[in-house]
Amino acid sequence: MAFSDFPPLQSFALLGGISFVLLYWILWRTPLHKLPYPPGPPERNLISGNISDLSASRPWLVWEEWGKKYGNVLHFRVFNKHTIILNSYEDCVELLEKRSNIYSDRPKIPILDLMGWTSFDAAFMPYGPQWRYHRRLFQQYFKSEKSVSYQPVQTKKVNDFLYGLLNTPEDFIKHYRTLSAAIIMSLVYDHDVAPKNDFFVEIVENALGRLSAAAIPGASLLNAFPILRFTPSWFPGANFKRKAIEARELNYQMRDLPLASVEARMKKERVDCLAADMLENCQSQDQYTEIASVIVTAYIGGAETTVSTTGTFFHAMALFPDIQAKAQQEIDSIIGSDHLISFDDRPSLPYSEALYRELHRWKPVAPVGIAHAASSDDVYKGYYIPKGATVIPNIWAITHDPIKYPNPDMFEPNRFLLKSGELNEKDDEVISTVFGFGRRICPGRHLASGTVWLAIATVLQNFMISKKRDSNGAEIPIIGEYTDGLVCHPQPFECSIAPRTSSASKIILGSVRTK
């Protein structure tokens, strides 16, 4: 049927409807102030935009390549959702820190909302009164001065970690995963983690595995089509919803069960931990729920990121024996081997500190960080950033900038040292990058930094890490693959770990016996 075949009234209505849709489309796509969006790949489809350009696997590498072609501030669109990628440290500071009044919100990620993360985890929670309440508690318990008081617990658990490496070095992955969980669980719940199959730890690891797979942009069709959340879970193709509901139940177990255990113990005995301290001041059920959320978020944020960096340490030391030897030479000459390294030794070991920083730069824990959102329209470098746009710091691109870090794929701690051997000014840039920006910077960064540094320094002092050899004496190669997701870990690999000296075994055994 041709347009002329419609009656006049229907023709007018149809023409008006088409005009309205076209006008809405033009206005919707036209930036305010007549300014363009930042440059980016051309839109392949008038309706869906760049949806076919998205990668659910390692998107940070795609964005890094786009940056070489279009610049460090990128834009792409998926339907009516705009995303801004920041590939440089300077742009992240300018927007996420200096304009934090605009860029402190989080984007609405439907899959995470369906999984329950946005209701209790401050890392994903929208900017507002609930987030500010959580943040105050975090600041109270994890600020720099307060974190110093946790060093005895960190030292004790690191000593246990060294003891595990001494007795069963082949289980080193299990040992460093247990280390991070043991410190946080002890501090927040006064819970001693079982060497393996700990109930609480398994819940958290299961929940985080599901989170990491879902949080990467482009990983879920639901994020592009939010209306799909109303699809019945029994409907064909709605497997995403069934998995999200399972994850939500798991998340609430992770949040509620450990705190309930602390509460039950408090009725019988004195419990010394952060959860007990918060519960003593709890005055309502709503406050109880918020406390449970803050506490489990502290565990989530500290445990998973610490695991990733410590895993990268073992990976790097097995691959680069000359760097390991140089760090050990520094430790031997300054500290010696008659006692274990302590937190007080950190300022006197610049090469070990440089090695710690290079771990974060070489394989950043979260290559794309956690996305921010613009809470109002903004203009930057002559480009328009609309309200509600997702703003993502590409941590990988920043830490692999070949201008600032020549040969960025090489593991080289010397890039953080002056010719005099002192640390250079690049510390602030790398460390602040991996821990986040502005009001959303990780509040537990001081605790996490101390744990990782003490672990790697004491391992370097007492153990030699090398590639494992087969029955013929040939080295077994390490492929060096990493997992894909919000937080990345080295894929399981084998290496040889042995005490450097007989005194190493003695001081480790002595530290465990006297604890």
Q: Per the annotation, where are the binding residues?
A: 442
Q: Which residues belong to the annotated binding site for heme?
A: 442
Exposure class string for 483-496: b at 16+ Cβ within 10 A, else e: ebbbbbbbeebebb
Strand partners, 82: 77
Q: Which among 290, 292, 296 has a CA at the least distance from the CA of 211?
A: 296
CA 217/CA 212 separation, integer angstroms: 11
Q: Are strands 81-86 and 390-393 parallel, antiparallel or unpaired?
A: parallel
**Contact indicator for 308, 487 with CB cutoff of 8 Å:** yes
What is the C-alpha to C-alpha distance for residues 203 and 257, in angstroms, rounded to an integer?
Answer: 10
Helices (H), 335-363: 350-362
C-alpha distances out from residue 366 to 263, 421, 489, 507, Å = 34, 29, 10, 35
Contact between 398 and 92 under an 8 Å Cβ cutoff? The reply is: yes
Supply φ then ψ for residue 45, to 5 degrees: -145, 135
- Residue 214 near residue 114 (C-beta atoms within 8 A): no
Cβ–Cβ < 8 Å for 189, 199: no
